[in-house]
Amino acid sequence: MKILGIIPVRGGSKGIPGKNIKLLGGKPLIAYTKRSIDESSLLSKVVVSTDDDAISKVALDLGLDVPFKRPSSLADDQAPTLGVIIHCLDYFENKGETFDAVCILQVTSPFRRRGMIDEAIHKFSSSGADTLVSVLPVPHEYNPHWIFEENEEGFLFISTGDEALISQRQKLPKAFFRDGAIYLTKSSVIKERHSIFGEKLTYILGDPKFHVNLDTLEDWDEAEKIIKKINNS
């Protein structure tokens, strides 16, 4: 299976200014994703998609490939990631190169265990799934069968539509949330369905001890704590 790895990084971050190349534990944030890529033998090609010259320079200095500059229309904070992915696929198709699937690697979820990318690709390839995402278990107190929503009259109802709450924690079905570290999707799903999610969705578990999704300065502080744990382990 021929897989294109895409690292989508734009300039102009508001929550954490310059976060994609901001130093975390003495290294640019994007360097942590580069380390995960270096551990993989199953990615056919990896590119950085960015609109920012400073990010491009740091990426090139790290040995990453930046074959084009992302169009400004795909660089604001409202631009969907799907458009960025299609732009990458179209770029290579125009050069006569196609890929069976795309692996999206977000630098804002920087901590992946060793070999996680290839582990994900192995499962994705063997499962027959359209999409694979890395996930973490939802704590039982936030399980959707225990979550309420409010109706128009101000009364609460169980978000799953169940008529009654599941009374025992042990009987709750497993639930997961995306941790943001890895997305794998067939190129045909992306191009034909205009979605990164196909009908058949599988998953790989991340590591809750090292999970962080960098959006705010508080998240950044948490990432610094995780780096210290990693360095002391």
Specify the pLDDT at position 40: 96
15-65 pLDDT tens trace: 788 899 999 999 999 999 999 999 999 999 999 999 999 999 999 999 999
CATH class in words for 3-135+176-232: alpha beta
Over residues 62-74, mean pLDDT: 91
Over residues 196-217, mean pLDDT: 92
100-122 pLDDT tens trace: 999 999 999 999 999 999 999 99
| Percent of the chain residues topping a pLDDT of 90 | 84
Entry pTM? 0.90
Q: 88 pLDDT band (50/70/90 cuts)?
A: very high
Q: Which residues of 114-128 are buried (b: 16+ CB within 10 A; e: fewer)?
A: eebbebbbeebbeee
Kindly report the three-state secondary structure assignment for every residue of 135-178. Answer: EEECCHHHCHHHCEEECCCCCEEECCCCCCCCCCHHHCCCCEEE
More confident residue, 73 or 122: 122
Contact 111, 31 (CB under 8 A): no
Specify the pLDDT at position 18: 87
Domain boundaries, the chain: 3-135+176-232, 139-174
Q: Are strands 101-104 and 3-8 parallel, antiparallel or unpaired?
A: parallel
Q: Give the residue among 60, 58, 56, 108 at the shortest CA–CA distance from 81.
A: 108
Specify the pLDDT at position 151: 93
Whether the predicted pLDDT of 159 surpasses 90 = yes
More confident residue, 50 or 232: 50
Strand order from edge to edge, sheet including 201-205? 45-49, 3-8, 101-104, 176-186, 131-137, 201-205
| Lowest mean pLDDT across 70-74, 123-127, 166-170 | 70-74
Q: 233 pLDDT band (50/70/90 cuts)?
A: low
